[in-house]
Structure 1
Amino acid sequence: MFDFVRKHNKIMQWLLFLLIFPSFVLFGLEGYNRYKEKGEAVAKVDGREITQQDWDNMHKQEVDRMRQQMPTLDAKLLDSPEAKYGTLERMVRERVLQAAVEHGHMTVSDQRLARELQRNELVTMLRKPDGTLDMERYTQLLAAQGMTPQMYENSVRGELATRQVLGGINDTGTPVAAPAAVALNSFFEKREAQVARFATADYQAKVEPSDTELEAFYKANGKLFQAAEQANVEWVMLDLASVSKGIALNEADLKTYYEQNALRLGGQEERRASHILISVPKGAPQADKDKAKAKAEELLAQVKKNPESFADVAKKNSQDPGSAPQGGDLDFFARGAMTKPFEDAAFALKAKGDISPVVESDFGFHIIKLTDLKGGQPKPFEELRPQIEAELKKAQAQKKYAEAAEAFSNGVYEQSDSLKPVADKLKLEIHPQAGVTRTPAPGATGPLANPKFLAALFGPEAVERKRNTEALEIGPNQMVSGRITKYTPATTRPFAEVKAQVREQVVAQRAAELARKEGQAKLEAWKKAPDTATLPPAVTVTRQDAGKLPRAVIEAALRADPAALPAWIGVDLGNDGYAVVKVAKVLPRDTPPAEQAKQEQAQYLRSWTGAETLAYYESLKARYKTTINVAKPKAALAE
């Protein structure tokens, strides 16, 4: 074959040209490359596709954000199929609402945007004493998040526009007392009933299966008695700890870093102060301001004369209810914690005991006394050496990790039959592990506790060809690859080994059948001759006491037609047996206290509005021809 290719090189070139060229004509080179890069569409909204790559990128962003907010959150929850599918559903929802905005020509006026920004916590935090926005800090803060003011304001405008789509339903729900009362009274209604239980456990002693029956059940249900597939594996991980091992720091770099960062390393300066406040409402007449300032000047002269009396003067005269009882003490604070005029005055004081002139802020007039200060002073090099070494090592490790990540990914792919080359090249440790299964073992840690990595380990390539998995990112600055060294497929365990389990299953199944048959027979007999029924005392059945009876029994009793009481109902409890329920009468609901009734009405309104909103959203999905090409995980379907 290869000889033919070498001898007929020209022919092969033309053949390849004829095969490949039509695809470029039909799709275009750029479209072809984009398709290859982004992967197949996992969903489509209004003619626009969501690709596998779009989905993966969005889920990675959400996982990273969640890990930053909750570092102790179990990684398994974030990497589960249900969590990933939830990300896709949110992406689809955003696209549907965007399509509704575009087709409905919905816009957000500059005035509406301005009102929203005025209420925004970020903008409020950055306001100057005169009420204007500190644009320099605003721009810096957004830049740290990779945004410009224009980008941020456009995102807020977009959010307001999409909010309009469902806002008409969410904001127009009004409580209607009559239907709410009917629904709530029905939900909280009570029934008086007698419940006869035919429990599976009570019939187990009557079941004596033969060995022949047990073997027949074993053969028919072999999958129930399988030993799970397992494998002996080995894996390598690239992380900051592994790349840090080879980092050596020299003395000159440490001292240079100290000189450049001495103030920062010494800790942020904090000051402790006490104050006396003579408050003036914002916008008060000038006469009121002058009067308050005169009072403050009078108190200033008093404490200047006798600084030791500051606390007593504050207790008697300060109009700050939070600090006056403590003699005006405000505890330690750093820059940015206080209103700007107050902060400037407090940080301008030179030494403990210094008292400021009268300072005006939005709250009124302050007299400030500096009582303590800490931080903001350089510490000796030797004292900071461990911190400097840790910071420099981390910075160099981050840089080295970024360089090593590409080599790691390429290495496990290019030499896919062994992890040793990449381990030797990057000085990584190969970790062997026997008896690994598709699901994390109890107490598992590290990569073998990660479902995503285990799924890759048991993928077709890894199982059949013993290839390395691709380099998988399982956490911030953590990449792992593994391979199977020995694979044992799932096998049905010998009958002799599982005979006790087989018998347990057969007995449980037969006992449930006996309970069901007797329950059904009693139901028919008692319906015909109610006086012969042997039932336990009546109980009150209500959804509020769900733990006292099986849910199926409660729902069956409450759904019985009130016009046809007494009613006889049979309830199949599955593996738990059977129940016969005689519903005697309806018990009216106790009138709830006024506050509880109000809360229930509000809950009813929220539920009703939520149902209407969901129905409208589903209609939008249909209108914009929304399709999701990925099956919903079974666990999510069950929920």
Structure 2
Amino acid sequence: MLQTIRDRMTGPILWGIVGVLIVPFAFFGIQSLQSGGGADPTVAEVGGVKITQSQFHGAYQRAYQDLQQRMGPDFRADELQQNQLRDNVLKSLVQDLVLQQYTRDTGYRIDDAGVREYLEAMPYFQENGHFSADRYRSALSSVGQSPEQFEARVRQQLPVEQLRGAVLDSAFITPREGEAAWKLQRQQRVFSYVKFEPAKYLASVTVSDDQVKQRYEQKKDSYKAPERIKLAYVELALDQLPKAAAPSADVLKAIYEARKAGLFSTPEQRRASHILIAFGADKDAAKKKADDLYDKIKAGADFAELAKANSDDPGSKNKGGDLGLVKHGMMVPKFESALFALNKAGEVSEPVQTEFGWHLIKLDELKPAETQAFDDPAVQKQLLDLYQQQDAVTRFNDMSTKLDQMSFENPASLDPVAKALNLQVKTTDWFTRKGGGDIAANQAVIAAAFSSELIKDDNNSKPIAIDPQHLVVVRKAEYEAPRQLQQADVAEQIRGELKDEAAKAKAKAGADALLKSLADGQTFELATKAAGVASVSPGAVQRDNKDLPPALVQALFKMPHPASGKLGYGQAALDNGDIAVIALSAVNDPATQSSDVKDMQSAGLQLRNARAGSEFSAYRDAVEKEVKVKIKATPLTSDADAGG
């Protein structure tokens, strides 16, 4: 029973569901996608359900912020491929709706018992290996969700995971394919190569002023200084608010009494063991077996040994049936009632029937409820922290309301806002639509900065959430519109571009000339010597080689096998601009031994997983055609995209 649940706690299902909790943009849910307003443009339609611009924009912002958080200091707004992120977010929303509608229409369902069993088995909500109702509620509360909301999402997502699992589990490969995959992974190729480096041709390249002028005229529109802006802003952050002074003992006592049951009390816990006899095909036979075991226990047989020999719960049988500490709410009702009816350690229940089978339940230890005293120093510290946290949240909420009101009532200046809330007016550095540092790396701030509200109307922005506990109001401090750069401004840039292009062309021509000489029958040694390039011989390499340029290795392993006693030739464009000419002399497949069976199986599993992923992608594409997806418009990633 328990082990079956634990086995399901790996792979895409667990992280798909936890993703609902932690990264909400990944799984939006049909209800949230249906909440768009009437004036909200539709960007896509999935089986009659609309995805609006505002819904996409919300998902895009969450995706952007998630990317920021995951990359940390490595995040660069100016290097973000916004079009790719936009397409990925829209694709995610569409695919989620497609699969939800398809599973609903084809009869996939999950009942309340299935949802409960699933949640109880999620490690994210467990303490000491068992479901914790307190941790469950606390985790949901921390991200602003109620159990009802989260369970509705789980009920909606699990059928999708059932479908996904059914398709993925159907993929298979033959042992011969697994062996072939293993051989390909370990195949070695013996080769030599030479490089034609553009840098070595730069000195021989000259670029005239006329060429610079011609290029400037050809690409004049691309030589522009982008618009840029400096922002003035005020920020309100919960973690920057000063802590309140310690309150009186009466205040702390009131908090203690209100939170005692949840924070300072440990409920009664019972360490339990059980023997599970699953119903199997014959429920009566299972009951008889449970009765016989109960009689043996009453006669003095060792409970743990009987559990190891007879229990059908693989998760606990090897531990003598030990389930660890159990408190109210962790087990199914009938099991729990029987356990908490036992009065002393060592007592064993009569067979108890649940949906999983017959249980013999033993009480190993009884830990009574405990409550920490009000005067305990650790309790006092926790109470003070709670008071200061709540005080800060209250002040933050009050100041947030005032921030919104003051910035609206004084649209032409931040000074009244700053004075009323005792905040400092700060200024960003210059940044473009690609973003900048600090708050200018936030996509919502960038969108507001280049909106008509700031640039044309010269107003304050609305409060912008950097995160739920960090708000900023921004306004234009300085602005420069896009401007045409003159030829003199970009002459050296253009000259450098032209020289690089000419040097690369010379390198490519050198590589092509070498390949032609080799095709005409000249030996590799003589041809490379005549071309003035030195060959490098790495010897035998595998496709996972990390010492050579990736593009070189990829090109090497795409080349056909050379004829016996001859060299095969190929070319590769390396990431640094160099052109490599490859001479492949041998392809060596590994010899198989009996000790390689496990590695072959592992290679086969990787191949099977890759095939399963491809098959599910194809299945999803087919479902998408059946559900009828229509992309109505290219969604906008910010208000600035609208041309305001």
TM-score (norm 2): 0.66
Is the 2:177–2:604 Cα contact (8 Å) retained in structure 1?
Answer: no
The answer to whether the aligner puts 1:567 opposite 2:558 as a matched pair is no
Is the 1:278–1:292 Cα contact (8 Å) retained in structure 2?
Answer: no
Q: Find the residue that maps to 2:546 and give its secondary structure.
A: helix
Distance verdict in 2 for CA 1:125–1:610, change over 3 Å? closer
Is the 1:118–1:124 Cα contact (8 Å) retained in structure 2?
Answer: no
Given candidates 257, 260, 274, the residue that maps to 2:257 is 260
Distance verdict in 2 for CA 1:176–1:431, change over 3 Å? same
2:611 matched residue in structure 1: 608
Letter in 1 for 2:102: A
Q: Report the Cα distance in structure 2 between the residues aligned to 1:46 and 1:620, rounded to whole angstroms.
A: 11
Letter in 2 for 1:94: D
Unaligned runs of 5+ in 1: 1-33, 128-132, 297-319, 324-329, 349-355, 635-639
Is the 2:53–2:636 Cα contact (8 Å) retained in structure 1?
Answer: no
The answer to whether the aligner puts 1:54 opposite 2:62 as a matched pair is no
The answer to whether the aligner puts 1:290 opposite 2:298 as a matched pair is yes
Q: How many angstroms does 1:178 deviate by?
A: 3.8
Is the 1:280–1:292 Cα contact (8 Å) retained in structure 2?
Answer: no
1:412 matched residue in structure 2: 407
- Cα deviation 1:127-162 (Å, max 9, x = unaligned): 9xxxxx9999999899965244xx777655544433
The answer to whether the aligner puts 1:533 opposite 2:527 as a matched pair is yes
The answer to whether the aligner puts 1:587 opposite 2:588 as a matched pair is yes
2:475 matched residue in structure 1: 483
Unaligned runs of 5+ in 2: 1-34, 278-289, 305-316, 350-359, 530-534, 638-644
1:352 matched residue in structure 2: none
2:282 matched residue in structure 1: none
1:555 matched residue in structure 2: 554
2:443 matched residue in structure 1: 451
Is the 2:230–2:428 Cα contact (8 Å) retained in structure 1?
Answer: yes
Is the 1:439–1:451 Cα contact (8 Å) retained in structure 2?
Answer: no
1:394 matched residue in structure 2: 389
Q: Find the residue that maps to 1:533 and give its secondary structure.
A: helix
Is the 1:335–1:343 Cα contact (8 Å) retained in structure 2?
Answer: no
Letter in 1 for 2:580: A
Letter in 1 for 2:171: G
Flag the structure with larger Rg: 1
Q: Report the Cα distance in structure 2 between the residues aligned to 1:518 and 1:123, rounded to whole angstroms.
A: 61
2:12 matched residue in structure 1: none
Distance verdict in 2 for CA 1:107–1:493, change over 3 Å? closer
Q: Find the residue that maps to 2:172 and give its secondary structure.
A: coil
Is the 2:570–2:581 Cα contact (8 Å) retained in structure 1?
Answer: yes
Distance verdict in 2 for CA 1:414–1:42, change over 3 Å? farther
2:173 matched residue in structure 1: 175
- Cα deviation 1:32-74 (Å, max 9, x = unaligned): xx8656611122111210123333555677899999xx89967
Q: Report the Cα distance in structure 2 between the residues aligned to 1:257 and 1:80, rounded to whole angstroms.
A: 53
Distance verdict in 2 for CA 1:493–1:336, change over 3 Å? farther
Letter in 1 for 2:427: P
Q: Report the Cα distance in structure 1 between the residues aligned to 2:135 and 2:370, rounded to whole angstroms.
A: 28
Q: Report the Cα distance in structure 1 between the residues aligned to 2:345 and 2:188, rounded to whole angstroms.
A: 72
- Cα deviation 1:343-375 (Å, max 9, x = unaligned): 9899x9xxxxxxx865558774647899xx997
Is the 1:39–1:51 Cα contact (8 Å) retained in structure 2?
Answer: yes
Is the 2:346–2:362 Cα contact (8 Å) retained in structure 1?
Answer: no
- Cα deviation 1:70-98 (Å, max 9, x = unaligned): 89967969999566654443332221112
Q: Find the residue that maps to 2:543 and give its secondary structure.
A: helix
Count of residue pairs brought into register by the alignment = 542
Distance verdict in 2 for CA 1:65–1:286, change over 3 Å? farther
Q: Report the Cα distance in structure 1 between the residues aligned to 2:480 and 2:137, rounded to whole angstroms.
A: 57
Distance verdict in 2 for CA 1:630–1:116, change over 3 Å? same
- Cα deviation 1:261-280 (Å, max 9, x = unaligned): 5857994559999x9x9998
The answer to whether the aligner puts 1:599 opposite 2:602 as a matched pair is yes
RMSD, matched Cα: 5.5
Letter in 1 for 2:444: K
Distance verdict in 2 for CA 1:337–1:291, change over 3 Å? farther
Letter in 2 for 1:394: Q
Q: How many angstroms does 1:607 deviate by?
A: 0.9
Q: How many angstroms does 1:379 deviate by?
A: 1.0
Q: Report the Cα distance in structure 2 between the residues aligned to 1:453 and 1:136, rounded to whole angstroms.
A: 39
Is the 2:221–2:484 Cα contact (8 Å) retained in structure 1?
Answer: yes
Greater fraction helix: 1
2:512 matched residue in structure 1: 520
Q: How many angstroms does 1:248 deviate by?
A: 8.2
Q: How does 1:73-472 map to 2 (within 5 A)?
A: 81=82, 86-104=88-106, 106-108=107-109, 114=113, 117-118=116-117, 120-122=119-121, 145-148=145-148, 157-182=155-180, 185=183, 189-209=187-207, 229-240=227-238, 251=248, 254=251, 257=254, 260-261=257-258, 263=260, 267-268=264-265, 283=290, 285-292=293-300, 364=362, 366=364, 376-379=372-375, 388=383, 390-413=385-408, 415-441=410-436, 444-445=437-438, 447-472=439-464
Distance verdict in 2 for CA 1:54–1:281, change over 3 Å? closer
Q: Report the Cα distance in structure 1 between the residues aligned to 2:408 and 2:275, rounded to whole angstroms.
A: 71
Q: Report the Cα distance in structure 1 between the residues aligned to 2:132 and 2:528, rounded to whole angstroms.
A: 82
Is the 1:38–1:51 Cα contact (8 Å) retained in structure 2?
Answer: no
Distance verdict in 2 for CA 1:487–1:553, change over 3 Å? same
Letter in 2 for 1:555: Q
Q: Report the Cα distance in structure 2 between the residues aligned to 1:72 and 1:554, rounded to whole angstroms.
A: 29
Q: Find the residue that maps to 2:373 and give its secondary structure.
A: coil
Q: Report the Cα distance in structure 2 between the residues aligned to 1:633 and 1:199, rounded to whole angstroms.
A: 42
Q: Report the Cα distance in structure 1 between the residues aligned to 2:131 and 2:500, rounded to whole angstroms.
A: 73
- Cα deviation 1:387-435 (Å, max 9, x = unaligned): 5454334324434444543443354345433223433444433223343
Q: Find the residue that maps to 1:175 and give its secondary structure.
A: coil
Q: Find the residue that maps to 2:160 and give its secondary structure.
A: helix
1:626 matched residue in structure 2: 629
Q: Find the residue that maps to 1:44 and give its secondary structure.
A: strand
Distance verdict in 2 for CA 1:574–1:225, change over 3 Å? farther
Q: How many angstroms does 1:466 deviate by?
A: 2.7
1:617 matched residue in structure 2: 620
Q: Find the residue that maps to 1:487 and give its secondary structure.
A: strand
Q: How many angstroms does 1:602 deviate by?
A: 0.8
Q: Find the residue that maps to 1:576 and give its secondary structure.
A: coil
